[in-house]
Homo-oligomer: A and B are copies of this chain.
Amino acid sequence: MSEATIPAVPVSFHRAEEDLPFVPYQDGITFQLLQVDLEVGLWVVRIRAEPGVAFQKHRHTGQVLAFTLSGSWRYLEYPEINTAGSYLYEPAGAVHTLIVPDSNEGITDIWFAITGANLDLDSNGDVETVLDAATVLEIYRAQCKAFGHPAPDVIGA
C-alpha cells in the first residue's frame, strides 16, 4: 500500500520529565501523571517514594507494567526485590502491598502503566476505595493546583 493512501497518520505525544510536575500523593510519595485513556481505563504514572513508605494493599482489575528507575521496593506478598532496571508484570487480579524498605538510601522511582482500577482493601479484604484513571486524574489536577502548578497537560486528558 502506498503511504499516500494512509488516511490519517496520527502524531505521537511526548512529555519531557519537566513537562509535568511531581506532586504529593501521600506522605513520603510524589507522583507524575503522564497519560490517561479514560475510555479504556489506562493510566500511566511515575511514583517517587522515600524510604519506609507503603501503599495500601490493593487488588488490580487489569494488567500492570512496572519499570523501576532507581531505589528498591517489593510487594509484601512476593520475595522479589525490584531495583533499577527491574521489570514487573502484574496480571489482572493481583493483590499486593507495595513497600519501600526503611533501609533504602535515596528515592525509589518507578514508572507504571496500569489498566483498570486499584481496589484498595481494608483489613477485612473489603473494597475501601477505587483508584482508576478518572480518579487519579482528578487527584493529580487538584494537587497540581494546590501546589501552585498550572493545569497539567496530561496526555489523553
Residues of chain A whose beta carbon lies under 8 Å from any beta carbon of chain B = 1-18, 34-35, 37-41, 44, 46, 59, 61-63, 65, 67, 69, 75, 78, 80, 82-96, 111, 113, 115-117, 119, 121, 124-130, 132-135, 137-138, 155-156
Q: Residue A86 contacts which of B15, B93, B116 (CB distance < 8 angstroms)?
A: B15
Contacts of A7 in B (CB 8 A): 134-135, 137-138
Known: A17-B85, A38-B91, A93-B9. A3 touches B75 (CB 8 A): no
Is the beta-carbon distance between B39 and A10 smaller than 8 angstroms?
Answer: yes
Q: For the complex, what is the distance from the CA of A49 to the CA of B10, rounded to whole Å?
A: 25
The quantity of this chain's copies bound in the complex is: 4
